[in-house]
Amino acid sequence: NIEGARRQNIKVGSYHYFSTKSTVDAQYANFSKRLKEHKQDLIPMIDVEDRGTWGRSQLIDSVAKLALMMEQQFKRKPMIYSTMDFYNSYLAPQFNAYPLYIGRYSTAKPQLKWGGKYTIWQYTEHGIITGINKHVDLCTFNDDKSLEDISL
């Protein structure tokens, strides 16, 4: 996908689906190993959608540790992806200072608790794009944000 995107002059970045089934150190090692062969144009993203059996504080501490490891590598805070409900229930307000990519499949913009503000809003999973033969996620930047805000 990275090479195909580059052929179309599309900036690329990588994301990590956060898991409660392995250590943060193991997850970072896997993420970092896979990036070694590909230059990144965009800040990394941590996708947090499930807490398994973990409590809120264990989840927050673990995501914060992974985010710090990525920030040390890239010299920029990573983006945090989550659905609006999950973010408000388990991650806010601890990650409000991070770029936030929020899934809310609706015509209503995401409402984040404690002053959180999304950078990107994923508003549907039923988008249609010429050349792709299945539905895709569609998103938009917040009014005061742009690609520059998430570029390395």
pLDDT digits (tens, 9 = 90+) for 37-85: 778 999 999 999 999 999 999 999 999 999 999 999 999 999 999 999 9
Predicted TM-score (pTM) of this structure: 0.93
Cβ contacts of residue 40 below 8 Å, gap of 6+?
Answer: 12, 13, 14, 74, 152
Q: What percent of the chain clears pLDDT 90, i.e. is strictly above it? A: 87
pLDDT digits (tens, 9 = 90+) for 82-119: 999 999 999 999 999 999 999 999 999 999 999 999 99
Asked if 100 and 118 touch (Cβ cutoff 8 Å), the reply is: yes
